[in-house]
Structure 1
């Protein structure tokens, strides 16, 4: 006797697989949400720290310094995230940053130390270390304008 399987109704994919699809889908959703929240938080922290150390203005200043251009070439751009440290104690704020930079001729780092509020930063240190030449180029002596 031959059976015709087309007449037997098969359960849907969901009915056959819900026992593993629900936990796996739920776990994946939680993991994706967790990674997204951590990523957004990290991006916000990095953005805030870069703002408090005047990262963009400092990089623009370095990109226009002829001595740095001669050592690294053009264009000069960041080469990673770098390291940032902000201390706020009793209303006094200080920030330190080490920003890796690169150019066609080599690599270096920008060292920045600032104090005071964002609106009135005082630069205590602003210099570029050139790796290949093992040389530091001070940038605070180049200008008297501490606001750039």
Structure 2
């Protein structure tokens, strides 16, 4: 009688281990990184400084005349926001665009006892580098 040599589990399943196993790890890694990016993005967009900055830029007549309407977010924000109870800091940039041009909103704010104080809040037009201060109220109508 001839004796048959039984192959090891790895010898029989090496294609699955390298193909399916690695693919599964890659998918898990991509989902993990995606959830981190989504969570950070959600933290920014739900913050008071973000909402206030978008509101001020969308209501500013000079910004509207340069960018056109509607003004919408355009890309990934960069910067940081730190919250610690009723205190915190925000320093970030929001890329925006309209039908006519692109820009970014620059936000620098401090939160003390639950209230945000804006040190800098302006729109910087991408093409001309012009800065439109969103903290100054329009005094022409006075």
Work out whether the TM-score is over 0.5: yes
Aligned position for 1:127: 122
Aligned residues: 126
Q: 1:54-100: per-residue Cα shift (whole Å, max 9, x none)?
A: 223321221111110011111111111121223568x8521111111
From 74, 89, 97, the counterpart of 1:102: 97
Structure with greater Cα Rg: 1
- 5+ residue gaps, structure 1, are 1-16, 144-148
Q: 1:54 and 1:132 mapped to 2: Cα distance?
A: 25
From 16, 22, 25, the counterpart of 1:27: 22
CA RMSD of aligned residues (A): 2.5
- 5+ residue gaps, structure 2, are 1-11
SS of 1:48's equivalent? helix
SS of 1:116's equivalent? strand
What TM-score does the superposition give when structure 2 sets the normalisation length? 0.75
Q: 1:86 and 1:113 mapped to 2: Cα distance?
A: 10
Q: How does 1:1-148 map to 2 (within 5 A)?
A: 18-52=13-47, 54-87=49-82, 92-116=87-111, 119-142=114-137
User: Following TM superposition, by how much is the alpha carbon of 1:53 offset from its aligned partner in structure 2, in angstroms?
Assistant: 5.8
SS of 2:70's equivalent? coil
